[in-house]
Amino acid sequence: MKYLFLVLSLISLKSYSQYALTPFAEVQGTQLREIKYEDVTGSPYLFDYWVNGKVTTKSGKHYENMPLKYNVMDDKLIFKQDKDLKKLFEYLTKI
């Protein structure tokens, strides 16, 4: 019984250690799956580069200096959480 308790405790500690402690941890977003527009020339984004901006969520949280891109084709705001991880914003009130 002690062995089972020890194993369950270690498993829960391991899963807690995988929790992301990033500045954007409370930002609800879905991982971005980019659509390749084969018949369209140019970029679907307003700018091809990332722009730092301020965002306010519906819960009232304010985020500043977030790397943002706006997808004009899909009317979506995208933020960069890590070096290569891009996500879509959900539940925004003010940009």
Query: Is residue 39 included in any domain, yes or no?
Result: yes
C-alpha closest to that of 77 among 2, 56, 17: 56
54 pLDDT above the threshold of 60: yes
Question: What is the domain count for the chain?
Answer: 1
- Structural Rg of the chain based on CA atoms: 19
Domain residue limits at 71: 24-94
How large is the greatest C-alpha to C-alpha distance in the chain, in angstroms?
64
29 pLDDT above the threshold of 60: no
17 pLDDT above the threshold of 50: no
Q: What is the pLDDT of residue 88?
A: 66
Global pTM? 0.53
Query: Is residue 45 included in any domain, yes or no?
Result: yes
Query: Is residue 9 included in any domain, yes or no?
Result: no
Q: What is the pLDDT of residue 3?
A: 72
